[in-house]
Structure 1
Amino acid sequence: MGNIHRSGPFKKSNDSARLVITTIMGMVFGYFIGISFPSVSLTRINLPSSLMSSHDNIKVADRSFPENLGSGNTPTIPKIFVPSNPRGAETLPPGIVVSETDYMLRRLWGDPTEDIKKKPKYLVTFTVGFDQRNNIDAAVKKFSDDFQIMLFHYDGRTSEWDQFEWSKRAVHVSVRKQTKWWYAKRFLHPDVVAAYDYIFIWDEDLGVEHFNGDKFIELVKKHGLEISQPGLEPNNGLTWQMTKRRGDREVHKNTEERPGWCSDPHLPPCAAFVEIMAPVFSREAWRCVWHMIQNDLVHGWGLDFALRRCVEPAHEKIGVVDSQWIIHQVIPSLGSQGVSEDGKAPWEGVKQRCRSEWALFQDRLTNADQAYFMQKKKG
């Protein structure tokens, strides 16, 4: 018993010494192991937590990451500042910047370069309610696979459109009780539609029996039109003489209106004018027009008189294609989206809003002109 008590302190001392020596040896060994591997930049291996999410249906174990993930070839992020890059992207190398996009649908598998067998050249948009499905079906069939179809749904009904085979290849945007110019401002930014040579922004109540999309584009290019529309068959849906179809020509760019309506034969509504019902814009013209659309003025009234600001000379670059013509069916679907107030029918409130927006737009345009020239005069 006595020997045990005397050897206790010595045993504890030996154990402590072994622990210290083992720790030191482990640190030295770990150091040499560590320096034998290439340095790893921590900035390159911070993976988003969502990448490893267990909620993904694909098993993480089945994923293969790039072999150079975490490579030490670029230990630090290079200091980059490119003023000519898009705003907010100045710190990126220009080669990685993608400032424009499109509405072309892609697969979730395979080689990305093989996703799109044929790229559409043009974009056709309709603002629609499901009640006009047959009309839209007839219209869509007038466009070849060179045209990307996009539907803006103001009634919230989208899945029902899958009864049409083409609908499964179309792009659908659904926001209730909005107009096509509300959609256009938010979903047709010039950088989003830059892949398309021409952009159609059409109503849903257009008869297209005498219209063909490819032939229309041929004539637009032939006559150098940057902003255009099909001619309108004269009926109760005709408002302006400029948009009236002429049966003796392919295209017209001017007309005669009622006395006093045109102060200059080269100005709207006698020239440099199309309606907002079925306009077609070149990519370059749309980049200008989009910036002129006001966020809060959703009906677009008055915009047609200002389109001439976006092309030069406007009386040569804006016109009506007569040999590819349509019929305005005058279906009051927009009015039904209004609300009855003060004993007035829903459509009356919508109509009043249209008129007031026209006046507001004109005031803003006039004020903007005055402010610009005043500032320019000050130097």
Structure 2
Amino acid sequence: MGTMHRSGVFKKTNDSARVIIITILGVVFGFFIGVSFPYASLNKIHLPSSLVSSLDVPLPDDNDFPRDRSPETTGGNVPKIYVPTNPRGAELLPPGIVVPESDLYLRRLWGEPSEDLKKKPKYLVTFTVGIAQRNNIDACVKKFSADFQILLFHYDGHTTEWDQFEWSKNAIHVSVRKQTKWWYAKRFLHPDIVASYEYIFIWDEDLGVEHFNGERYIELVKKHGLEISQPGLEPNNGLTWQMTKRRGDREVHKITEEKPGWCSDSHLPPCAAFVEIMAPVFSREAWRCVWYMIQNDLVHGWGLDFALRRCVEPAHEKIGVVDSQWIIHQVIPSLGSQGKQEDGKAPWEGVRARCKNEWSMFQNRLASADKAYLAQLGKE
């Protein structure tokens, strides 16, 4: 019995040794195979046809991979970089790869990127719209050439309906319900996003443009050195300020006379350095300043028109009204219908009350900011 027991032990030992030796030989053999074939092309691997057909894209060919590889793909050393003059957050990148600005150009999903654009729009025109005004917006858009990129901000959620117009298929559509144009502008028209455009139009939807031409307007703005402007308003419709009233005897005006006591200085709003917020046009440089002044929570923009002069100098020379390219304010309170009935008040009444309140809040914030700045300088 003892002999049989020892024989069984020896047999198990031999079997275990054999397994270990075979495993080691397999590992060594696999290692040499791996060394001999360091790169295996994916397209040489034969997968079941059922699996291949389920893939969204074909397997890459050898030539699909760039030959000149960066350290990220070759395992090379990435240089230690810190460039404090790069935009905030990009200090660890080499300046040559940093792209600090963007644009709204529409691009293809195929072909050479350099061939995407047959023509780059020079100017950006934005309208904040509801579907009820689509025919009026259609008339407006037709006053602008291919040099103008059209961007529609939809406050009522209707977007696909605009495809009845051929131009809409090349326009940019942003849809967020029940918001104002200044809410959209603050969030989607950052100066670094619209830096490719020489001028930015931020217009309402209820403007009559029978006597307006976009190309001619730009010519006059450049001719008279206007950084912030608007078309003249038809005197008989929706007129609030004398400054924005169209004058029939000139191309542009930059100063006016208002009611007695309204202007403490003839070079200050509303007698000069003033346009309304219904149809302003900003140069790229002026918009970079104005954008920073727009408050996130003051969505109606009331009071902004009186403060625009802070963004250009001298303001009474660089802000003006283009008389020979004029528009009609149709005074359609479409945004008021986007309000909510509360405390027995109609939706438009609540919207109007907030507009007035925001104007007061903006004035207070601006005055407080001025005071705080002067205090820092010891000039309070």
SS of equivalent to 1:172: strand
Letter in 2 for 1:66: F
For 1:70 and 1:123, locate their aligned partners in 2 and report how far apart those are by CA, in whole Å.
Answer: 37
Q: State the partner residue of 2:369.
A: 368
TM-score by structure 1 length?
0.88
Normalising by structure 2, what TM-score?
A: 0.88
Deviation for aligned residue 1:89: 1.5
d(CA) in 2 for partners of 1:190, 1:101: 9
Query: In structure 1, what is the equivalent of residue 128 of structure 2?
Result: 127
Residue of structure 1 equivalent to 2:244: 243
CA distance in 2, matches of 1:144, 1:81: 45
Separation in 1, partners of 2:134, 2:100: 35
Identical amino acids, percent of aligned pairs: 78
Is 2:65 aligned against 1:66?
Answer: yes
Q: Which residue of 2 aligns with 1:296?
A: 297
Shift of 1:268: 0.5
Matched with 1:205 is 206
Deviates more, 1:5-14 or 1:167-176: 5-14
Distance 1:37 1:319, change over 3 A: farther
The aligned amino acid for 2:197 is Y
Alignment of 1:234-273 (within 5 A): 234-273=235-274
Change (3 A) 1:59 1:18: same
Q: Determine the C-alpha separation between the residues in 2 that align with 1:296 and 1:83.
A: 32
Match of 2:47 in 1: none
Between the aligned partners of 2:354 and 2:13, the Cα distance in structure 1 is 93
CA positional deviation for 1:24: 3.8
- 1:99 Cα deviation after fit: 1.7
Offset of 1:57 from its aligned partner?
Answer: 7.3
Counterpart position of 2:332: 331
Match of 2:42 in 1: none
2:321 aligns to what? 320
- Of residues 110-119 and 265-274 in structure 1, the stretch that sits farther from structure 2 once superposed is 110-119
Shift of 1:73: 4.2
Q: CA deviation at 1:78?
A: 2.8
Instruction: Say which SS state the counterpart of residue 61 (structure 1) adopts.
Output: coil
Report the number of matched residues: 363
Please name the residue that 1:89 is paired with: 90
Classify 1:272/1:378 alpha carbon distance in 2 versus 1 (closer, same or farther; 3 Å): closer
Name the Cα RMSD after superposition. 2.7
For residues 85 and 57 of structure 1, the distance between their equivalents in structure 2, rounded to whole angstroms, comes to 41
2 CA distance for matches of 1:342 and 1:125?
A: 35
Distance 1:157 1:74, change over 3 A: same
The letter of the residue matching 1:58 is D
Q: CA 1:245–1:57 in structure 2 vs 1: closer, same or farther (change >3 Å)?
A: farther
* Cross-structure match for 1:230: 231
Question: Could you tell me which amino acid in structure 2 is paired with residue 274 of structure 1?
Answer: V
For structure 1, the 5+ residue unaligned runs are: 40-53
Contact 2:230 2:322 in 1 (8 A): yes
Q: Report if the CA contact (8 A) 2:273-2:318 is conserved.
A: yes
Distance 1:371 1:37 in 2: 70
Q: Deviations over 1:127-167 (max 9, x none)?
A: 00111011000000000000000001111100000000000
Tell whether the 8 Å contact from 2:302 to 2:355 is kept in structure 1 after alignment: yes
User: Is 2:237–2:328's contact at 8 Å kept on the other side of the alignment?
Assistant: no
AA aligned opposite 1:61: L
